[in-house]
Structure 1
Amino acid sequence: MSSPVLDLFSSFVLIDRTSVQPIYLQVSQQVINAVQRGYLLVGTKLPGTRALSEVLQVHRKTVIAIYDELDAQGWVEVRPNKGTFVINQSQQVKLDKPYEKLISLAKYPTHTGFVFRESTILDNPFESSDCSLIFNDGQPDIRLTQMQHLSRWYSASMKRKHNLKRLIRHQMEGSEYFREQLSNYLNFSRGLHISKNNLLITRSVEMSLYIISQILLSKGDQVLVGDLSMFSANMVFQKMGARVRTIPIDESGINIDYIRTHFKPGEIRMVYVTPHHHYPTTVTLSAQKRITLLQLAREYGFLIVEDDYDYDFQYEQTAVMPLASGDIDGMVVYVGSFGKSLAPAFRTGFVVAPDNLIAEMRKYLGIIDRQGDVIMEQALGEMIEEGEIHRHLKKSLKVYRERRDLFCEILETRFNGRVAFQKPSGGLALWTTWDKRFSLFQIANLCRNEDLFIPKNLLYQNNTLSAMRLGFGHLNETEIEQALEILWKCMDSVNAIPPVR
């Protein structure tokens, strides 16, 4: 005859055997919820592990893991020879003297009692919303990632004894195996000629730019960026005290001639470019301009920071190689991210540079991120070596190309020429230009009321420009159609401002 507690368990515990979450965690969370709701009262004796395993139809070891998890979180207490009991999580654990009395603060201070420097430059420019549909600046769709497959790679890497030994030692350079595999991958896919000694592994592109700026920039140095540029990079440069100057942009990228006519040799410290798909306009820096920029760097003595933020997303048969592939004078520092098509936790940043600069960067990385994620890097290295990255990217590119084509088709047919754009050869976003008489901010506000969120950082509107950068990669076909339909309706409902005469 089953006990009332066993009957309770069968009523509130629901196991999803198709979920990636382990069963013991599913049940543990449901038991905690039952205690919080009062279904299981404090002092209740929980069933034995054999009896509960039969009710839940799981292995007895799973039930033991459930009770261990509840005990670790302080929801139950295991009493020898008596059983497992629900306890009040708020009850104090008795401590031996002289630490018997616990000091409790009624309220933690909201402000410091001392003065510190606050940065306005590094204020977060991103907005958030609970809208069902959201445009971003060109992010991949993590739904295309086979999470179970990724978890198997990570789990297998975690279980290998030689990898566990690496966790004990500090790895300032990261996984040597991953750097070897990544250097091979970059040489094959981007035409580079590097070894593992030319690679620095970081957590993100932003961390890479921060370390580069710490070493290569001083207060007052002139940094040239595109007239429209990656705002996160500009923030890092300005935080270092650099003078950020802009270069005009045309249909083939930044205007290289502008540098020669407005600056003299020695006046420029750094030129920051996103040549593959210029951010935010998505135009590609022409081959002739690439050659001219490399020659100008050698002549003027400035370094080039090349940010190849979305190189992996190319839809054409012929790819334009990075500036770094043609650099023979050591003037280019190449920055990128690896695994962007995977889930965010599986992505990593990297820097490619001559040996002596990488050696100096490792000193700074040792302060910021001394240990790194050795297991993750090992798993990514194995995915490169086994060809898993190539297979996943090939499948994803097919989907993203179809989404790009659909996005462009709807813009062309539904918007009746009221929005101008060029179909990008790669990347996950479109650069759209609008009639200057429309208020893009008003359109964005109307879209928000219709459950479509367009962040302000995607809107570019001033006296000379009216444009939006609209990401399509994270939206499936149905979502693309819904989002553009809302955008069309909101645009159509806004009365254009008459031109000034």
Structure 2
Amino acid sequence: MGSPVEVPYLSFILLDRESATAVYMQIAHQVINAIQRGYLPKATKLPGSRVLSELLKVHRRTVVAAYEELEAQGWVQSRPNQGTFVVGVEEGKAQRIASPVKAALNGYPVKTGFSFKQSNLLDNPFEHATCEYVFNDGIPDIRLTQTDLLSRLYSSNLKRKSNYRKMGYYNRDGSEFLKENLSHYLNLSRGLHISKNNLLITRSTEMSVYIISEILLEPGDTVVVADLSYFSVNMIFQKAGAKICSIPMDEEGIDVQALEQLCRQQPIRMLYLTPHHHYPTTITLSAGRRIEVLRLASLFGFIVLEDDYDFDFRYDKKPVLPMASADTSGMVVYVGAFGKSLAPGFRTGFIVAPENLMAEMRKYLGIIDRQGDILVEQVLAEMIREGEIHRHLKKSVLVYKERRDNFALLLQEHFSEQLSFKLPAGGLAIWAQWKEPVNLLKLSQESARKGLFVPRTLLYQQKNLTAMRLGFGHLNQEEMTKSILLLKNCVESLR
């Protein structure tokens, strides 16, 4: 090797005087980086401490400390009266860098050096924007959350000594306290007949469906969904290798005659439904068709995956119980979300199923969410036990009902000639169909330019359908008025 000062050390040792990392450690780390990448091969002689200190404009003791650190880690060796030499990687065996480019030594690789399987199925369908006003597909208003109560309950659980042991161990089966209280709550509110052994606590509906798909679906299985269905869940089914088959809908929900005909033509593994408020149309599956679906499931042996994503948001005095409450054959797997009206960090998902299937699902949950969130689960359980969740829902549902009515009035006032819709009995969104076709993509783009974000996931445009799912739950009176006026202005500008 030539003289050690010929190596351009300033090209790969870049010091940050404001960093919390000591300067001598910065030097050591960046020399190690250069050795690992083959820029300083084995037997390279490093410059003396005085020379390098002058080069880097640091005190000589700083360089001495860096060299001591390098030697302690085994990267260099100090030889009396000879100098300090690299003992790391032999030349030719490391990732050799052809030219001393700063970015190559101080940056992270842009791409992997290996190939891997990539999936277009899981591309993120959700969009984000910085517009002042936003439509979504029906999200609660975070401003209505009982933040003071949640904070107080979380803080008290964090300080409670009886929780220390629980936090110190893996919580792969979920909080027993939450399962006991949630199973009781679901029995009372949804007419179920379950114990804590029929309940699995998950992070979200999507996580629930993923676990179910991993266990119950094989590549090539047929999953039946409605013509319009929840795109995120469809992505999970497709990733599992399932073949998705759609059946038509009308004002009473899915066409059960079409379902029976399909069952007679080919084996069906699963039927995915959102019967309480169908996503995205908000239609409630009629009582007669619910009974028929359960009959067909028992007759043909397919699984009914019932997604009750917004059961809590019902505005009339006639709650529709889930199909799982009438299932006597063990054909229904019931998933839902609890605490949806609370802050996002306090929401959770759940699965209800017979115990033999639950035992298998706990194995999968133990792999993908072994730690759990014991404190949040304790808070939710306390809110159920003390009746706080019931009181919160009772208040928030009144607010959302008023917002639904106001939103419907605004749509009627400004879009009566262009949109048709029915007032939904529940949920936080209105399904609105255009009487004359409108280019919804152009409408979305024009809206964004004028300060109103309308994500593509709300737009449904087919040969015989032009519709939008417009969420109102997160908007107060002023916000929804301005949003509707902006939308009207954008429609008029596209004419």
- Counting only pairs closer than 5 Å after superposition, residues 46-85 of structure 1 correspond to structure 2 as 74=20
Q: Please tell me whether the aligned partners of residues 336 and 351 of structure 2 are also in contact (alpha carbons under 8 angstroms).
A: yes
1:251 aligns with 2:225: no
Q: Please tell me whether the aligned partners of residues 192 and 325 of structure 1 are also in contact (alpha carbons under 8 angstroms).
A: yes
Count of matched residue pairs: 413
1:197 aligns with 2:216: no
- Deviations along 1:127-165, one digit per CA (max 9) or x if unpaired, are 111101010110111111132221111111111111111
- Counting only pairs closer than 5 Å after superposition, residues 379-394 of structure 1 correspond to structure 2 as 379-394=379-394
- Counting only pairs closer than 5 Å after superposition, residues 102-181 of structure 1 correspond to structure 2 as 105-181=105-181
Q: Please tell me whether the aligned partners of residues 266 and 302 of structure 1 are also in contact (alpha carbons under 8 angstroms).
A: no
TM-score by length of 2: 0.80
Q: Please tell me whether the aligned partners of residues 263 and 300 of structure 2 are also in contact (alpha carbons under 8 angstroms).
A: no
Structure 1 residue aligned with 2:365: 365
Cα deviation for residue 105 of structure 1 reads 4.1
Q: Please tell me whether the aligned partners of residues 208 and 350 of structure 1 are also in contact (alpha carbons under 8 angstroms).
A: yes
Q: Please tell me whether the aligned partners of residues 303 and 333 of structure 2 are also in contact (alpha carbons under 8 angstroms).
A: yes
Structure 2 residue aligned with 1:472: 472
Q: Please tell me whether the aligned partners of residues 199 and 358 of structure 1 are also in contact (alpha carbons under 8 angstroms).
A: yes
Cα deviation for residue 100 of structure 1 reads 8.7
Equivalents in 2 of 1:260, 1:486: separation in Å?
Answer: 45
Cα deviation for residue 101 of structure 1 reads 7.2
Cα deviation for residue 99 of structure 1 reads 3.0
- Deviations along 1:168-207, one digit per CA (max 9) or x if unpaired, are 1222111100000000110011000000000011111111
Equivalents in 2 of 1:291, 1:214: separation in Å?
Answer: 28
Q: Please tell me whether the aligned partners of residues 419 and 434 of structure 1 are also in contact (alpha carbons under 8 angstroms).
A: yes
Structure 1 residue aligned with 2:487: 487
For 2:375, the aligned partner's letter is I
Q: Please tell me whether the aligned partners of residues 205 and 350 of structure 2 are also in contact (alpha carbons under 8 angstroms).
A: yes
Of residues 69, 72, 75, the one that matches 1:98 is 72
Equivalents in 1 of 2:338, 2:74: separation in Å?
Answer: 51
Equivalents in 2 of 1:231, 1:206: separation in Å?
Answer: 11
Q: Please tell me whether the aligned partners of residues 178 and 377 of structure 1 are also in contact (alpha carbons under 8 angstroms).
A: yes
Give the 3-state SS of the residue equivalent to 1:119 in structure 2: coil
Cα deviation for residue 263 of structure 1 reads 2.6
Equivalents in 1 of 2:271, 2:164: separation in Å?
Answer: 42
Q: Please tell me whether the aligned partners of residues 265 and 300 of structure 1 are also in contact (alpha carbons under 8 angstroms).
A: no
Give the 3-state SS of the residue equivalent to 2:233 in structure 1: helix
Equivalents in 2 of 1:437, 1:384: separation in Å?
Answer: 47
Cα deviation for residue 331 of structure 1 reads 0.2
Structure 2 residue aligned with 1:429: 429
Structure 1 residue aligned with 2:346: 346
Give the 3-state SS of the residue equivalent to 1:263 in structure 2: helix
Unaligned runs of 5+ in 1: 1-40, 43-72, 77-87, 496-501
Give the 3-state SS of the residue equivalent to 1:320 in structure 2: coil
- Deviations along 1:395-437, one digit per CA (max 9) or x if unpaired, are 1111111110000011112223321000000000000000343
Equivalents in 2 of 1:110, 1:359: separation in Å?
Answer: 43
Give the stretch that moved more between structures: 406-415 or 323-332: 406-415
Equivalents in 2 of 1:462, 1:291: separation in Å?
Answer: 31
Q: Please tell me whether the aligned partners of residues 127 and 455 of structure 2 are also in contact (alpha carbons under 8 angstroms).
A: yes
For 1:217, the aligned partner's letter is L
For 1:379, the aligned partner's letter is V
- Deviations along 1:243-297, one digit per CA (max 9) or x if unpaired, are 0000101111111110112332871000000000000000000000000000000
Structure 2 residue aligned with 1:268: 268
1:221 aligns with 2:195: no
Q: Please tell me whether the aligned partners of residues 208 and 350 of structure 2 are also in contact (alpha carbons under 8 angstroms).
A: yes
Equivalents in 1 of 2:116, 2:446: separation in Å?
Answer: 40
Give the stretch that moved more between structures: 99-108 or 200-209: 99-108
Q: Please tell me whether the aligned partners of residues 436 and 465 of structure 1 are also in contact (alpha carbons under 8 angstroms).
A: no
Structure 2 residue aligned with 1:419: 419
Equivalents in 2 of 1:233, 1:239: separation in Å?
Answer: 10
Structure number with larger C-alpha Rg: 2
- Deviations along 1:220-240, one digit per CA (max 9) or x if unpaired, are 100000100000110000001
Q: Please tell me whether the aligned partners of residues 265 and 301 of structure 1 are also in contact (alpha carbons under 8 angstroms).
A: no
For 1:319, the aligned partner's letter is P
Give the 3-state SS of the residue equivalent to 1:188 in structure 2: helix
For 2:73, the aligned partner's letter is Y
Structure 1 residue aligned with 2:211: 211
For 2:430, the aligned partner's letter is L
Structure 1 residue aligned with 2:307: 307
Q: Please tell me whether the aligned partners of residues 226 and 246 of structure 2 are also in contact (alpha carbons under 8 angstroms).
A: yes
Q: Please tell me whether the aligned partners of residues 266 and 301 of structure 1 are also in contact (alpha carbons under 8 angstroms).
A: no
Equivalents in 1 of 2:148, 2:141: separation in Å?
Answer: 16
Q: Please tell me whether the aligned partners of residues 472 and 480 of structure 1 are also in contact (alpha carbons under 8 angstroms).
A: yes
For 1:445, the aligned partner's letter is Q
- Deviations along 1:326-357, one digit per CA (max 9) or x if unpaired, are 00110000001111000000011100000000
1:439 aligns with 2:439: yes
- Deviations along 1:374-411, one digit per CA (max 9) or x if unpaired, are 11101110111011111111111111111100000111
- Mark the CA change 1:99 to 1:148 in structure 2 (over 3 Å): closer, same or farther: farther
- Counting only pairs closer than 5 Å after superposition, residues 312-323 of structure 1 correspond to structure 2 as 312-323=312-323
- Mark the CA change 1:383 to 1:484 in structure 2 (over 3 Å): closer, same or farther: same
Q: Please tell me whether the aligned partners of residues 265 and 299 of structure 1 are also in contact (alpha carbons under 8 angstroms).
A: no
1:237 aligns with 2:211: no
Equivalents in 2 of 1:262, 1:325: separation in Å?
Answer: 26
Give the 3-state SS of the residue equivalent to 2:283 in structure 1: coil
For 1:467, the aligned partner's letter is A
For 1:145, the aligned partner's letter is T
Give the 3-state SS of the residue equivalent to 2:325 in structure 1: helix
Equivalents in 1 of 2:493, 2:119: separation in Å?
Answer: 40
Equivalents in 1 of 2:73, 2:398: separation in Å?
Answer: 63
Structure 1 residue aligned with 2:186: 186
Structure 2 residue aligned with 1:53: none
Identity of aligned residues (%): 55
Equivalents in 1 of 2:420, 2:479: separation in Å?
Answer: 21
For 1:492, the aligned partner's letter is E
Equivalents in 1 of 2:422, 2:387: separation in Å?
Answer: 33
Equivalents in 2 of 1:75, 1:106: separation in Å?
Answer: 16
